[in-house]
Structure 1
């Protein structure tokens, strides 16, 4: 989807942004017809509430958009986007007492609100309003964020029938080609030749070959490595999921989609980093060659893993990819995955939980999350739980029994494959369960904008 702001030189209609507590004073300064119109229509300047204001000739002269109360704004992300997305087609500009942060959020929310997943629809999308970039906003950065988010959403929303490992590879290679990156793909039995045995074990049951995709971009600056889980569909394997548990499993490549979106932002903004992206892509299917419960796999790192649940496959493919990532020096390694239901029970669908042993990285990320409109929450690498992932018969257990601290034990499992102390792991959901401002129901990126915003502090850029 191509995004653009309205031409700054073109005529446009104003959108008056007014807070609830300032509405009475603002209204008192309006002409009587405007006061009567807003009174008759019950406008109270609630967050996202919008009214079109007519001109004497019956055309639309302007709009008024409520920014609500401070409490309402604190309880809602992209609150203004609800009203901005309801504006009729045409060119508009914002007026009112907006802080730079509020203006950025309004513009980003408007951009994200233009998203629609239309691949399988026969009806066309009606024209949408265009917004002029407010003074002081970094339009290139906001566009890069929004366009990357739309890539992530499109990938997650596409059903597995049309987005298996091969199609994810095509999107990955297209991303690299767009920015002149170097890309390499290892497929099928060559994974065994290249010592990536757990990626092969998870994906070998499917006729759609498993693979490891790698992208490199940039020739200066700190080294940043991104690793994303690319399970294009997850049946659960021989520990098969119930049918209800499979309904959202097209989104199990949400980690891959999100790191691809983050990589697009970094490359589009030409950040001074040396970027490496690794995506293991598989379909966790069922056949005679599927891995079995209690199989013991030997990982790239040499650690053995007892498979106590074939539905805990994402950490297996990530483990090999992380071991490969860790073989090169990096200033930052980030893994992202739709890994555990336990994370969603802990923090719900809106927060992106993350793990790191580096307090500086955590502080930088948490400080960046607010300005990026991308909330995150730190969970602990809790060392006393390490024995839970040690089954005795092998070095590691991929699915400890008992059900306690499932997100933490999965994160501890992954940490065993990374020696680099500057490592962060995200256990994201990748899905909005119901329509929200700037976030329609369906696939969504989480954590990527916060990471992008934190990179200067994390890396000293």
Structure 2
């Protein structure tokens, strides 16, 4: 769907339930539901209860987009509501589908929500553009999107006034990023470290680093995944897609970014493949911060590439860091696919991210950085750390503790395993939370 300010004609018009509808037509209608009232030559009409909260509005927006898709409506009109922005955001998100690889791609319906201010309209349009960018990156197959082409997509953000720098394998080796180089050693394209910068307005007082895991395909390496587990691993760069999507939105909203705040996205991009030069269980590599890591499980590669990216972000002056990664399968067992796991070293940052997620209609749950669990990564190794103790109990916490060894500033980690897709459809989870986090940073 695309958000518009005017419509000549609405194929589907929503009305709020009121005295003009008989009880028979609205009986049993619940908040967040939409019901088809009539189909005429002039267009279809549906009814819903006016939403009493942003949550109800989001449920209603998603339901309305589903009805529009079912009716093949090319244009949808919604009457004014105090929660119009939340309704529109959900409708736009639910209305997206990947159509680039179909013979008949179809049309993009138009959405008019009456009563939206110009500022709200601009913010929604920018957020939708960022969300679409993230979803298209996540949805692209690995034969289309690899570290090289991901970097090429990131360079399109220069058109919005963002600065984009890309480091290739030689640059990465020169910076001492041995973990990122090791993960990429088995693939033909090599690694890329992508840095996207939105410069501060006025004197720079803070640098917010958004760090994304960009594994464009994950076979598991020599700790190879079974066939069922490998399906869908083109989505293992959902964290990278989210931070790039957030930068896409912020590029349009740069005037709303607090003065003095610089925003940088760091994407560590690689494919985790099997090959003659691929890392093996038992290999030891030096990280960018000087720590040596023994690779006990080549399928625990995301924490390796993030470790080097977090180190570089800190070295380059980040004052606060948030990383996003489809990191651990046990996170899905703990929290499911709707809720992301939040780990943080700083209570103030935690509070800001929780508030941002709530404003975006995304859900996070804080899990503890229980330091004794790190001992499992320090025992029975000749290196400083192992990347896995091969014990699934508490694995999401242990992975976060591993990442913590590579940060020297206030930091938060969002494990979005399971969140990046829903029923094989890319969600762009995290774009909204990151945008709200940056715009709300005072």
Question: Does the pair score TM above 0.5?
Answer: yes
In the aligned structure 1, how far is the partner of 2:323 from the partner of 2:211?
A: 5
Residues 315 and 35 of structure 1, relative CA distance in 2, 3 Å threshold? same
Give the corresponding residue for 2:131: 149
Give the corresponding residue for 1:264: 248
> Does 1:403 find its partner at 2:392?
yes
- Alpha-carbon displacement from aligned partner over 1:75-115 (angstroms, at most 9, x marks no partner): 995333212442433352315xx4x3x32221111221331
> Does 1:105 find its partner at 2:94?
no
Correspondence for 1:315 among 286, 294, 303: 303
Report the CA distance between 1:283 and its aligned residue.
0.7
- Alpha-carbon displacement from aligned partner over 1:178-203 (angstroms, at most 9, x marks no partner): 22222222212342122111111110
Partner SS, residue 151 of structure 1: helix
Residues 61 and 300 of structure 1, relative CA distance in 2, 3 Å threshold? closer
- After the TM superposition, which of the residue ranges 397-406 and 411-420 deviates more from structure 2? 397-406
Give the corresponding residue for 1:17: 16
Report the CA distance between 1:51 and its aligned residue.
1.5
Correspondence for 1:48 among 33, 36, 43: 33
- After the TM superposition, which of the residue ranges 60-69 and 162-171 deviates more from structure 2? 60-69
- After the TM superposition, which of the residue ranges 204-213 and 383-392 deviates more from structure 2? 383-392
Q: Is the 8 A contact 2:76 2:109 kept in 1?
A: no
Give the corresponding residue for 1:22: none
> Does 1:250 find its partner at 2:234?
yes
Partner SS, residue 325 of structure 1: helix
In the aligned structure 2, how far is the partner of 1:127 from the partner of 1:383?
A: 49
Please provide the CA RMSD for this pair.
2.5
Partner SS, residue 216 of structure 2: strand
Give the corresponding residue for 1:199: 180
Give the corresponding residue for 2:357: 369
In the aligned structure 1, how far is the partner of 2:402 from the partner of 2:108?
A: 48
Q: Is the 8 A contact 1:65 1:80 kept in 2?
A: no
> Does 1:224 find its partner at 2:177?
no
Q: How high is the TM-score relative to the length of structure 1?
A: 0.86
Q: How high is the TM-score relative to the length of structure 2?
A: 0.89
Report the CA distance between 1:371 and its aligned residue.
2.4
Residues 111 and 76 of structure 1, relative CA distance in 2, 3 Å threshold? closer
Give the corresponding residue for 1:182: 163
Partner SS, residue 152 of structure 2: helix
In the aligned structure 1, how far is the partner of 2:167 from the partner of 2:341?
A: 30
Give the corresponding residue for 1:444: 427
- Alpha-carbon displacement from aligned partner over 1:92-144 (angstroms, at most 9, x marks no partner): 2315xx4x3x3222111122133110111012324524213424571111112
Report the CA distance between 1:53 and its aligned residue.
3.5
Give the corresponding residue for 1:138: 120
In the aligned structure 2, how far is the partner of 1:395 from the partner of 1:199?
A: 17
Q: How many residue pairs align between the two structures?
A: 427
Partner SS, residue 436 of structure 2: helix
In the aligned structure 2, how far is the partner of 1:121 from the partner of 1:333?
A: 39
> Does 1:414 find its partner at 2:403?
yes
Which segments of 5 or more consecutive residues in structure 1 lack a partner in the other structure? 19-25, 435-440
Partner SS, residue 78 of structure 1: helix
Report the CA distance between 1:447 and its aligned residue.
2.7
Q: Is the 8 A contact 2:195 2:264 kept in 1?
A: yes
In the aligned structure 2, how far is the partner of 1:155 from the partner of 1:246?
A: 18
Give the corresponding residue for 1:437: none
Correspondence for 1:335 among 318, 323, 343: 323
- Alpha-carbon displacement from aligned partner over 1:370-428 (angstroms, at most 9, x marks no partner): 221111111111112121221341111101132211111111001100011x2111111
Q: Is the 8 A contact 1:188 1:204 kept in 2?
A: no
Correspondence for 1:86 among 56, 61, 67: 67
Give the corresponding residue for 2:22: 35
Give the corresponding residue for 2:144: 162
Residues 382 and 86 of structure 1, relative CA distance in 2, 3 Å threshold? same
Q: Is the 8 A contact 1:340 1:406 kept in 2?
A: yes
In the aligned structure 1, how far is the partner of 2:407 from the partner of 2:23?
A: 65
Q: Is the 8 A contact 1:239 1:309 kept in 2?
A: yes
In the aligned structure 2, how far is the partner of 1:448 from the partner of 1:124?
A: 25
Residues 305 and 48 of structure 1, relative CA distance in 2, 3 Å threshold? same
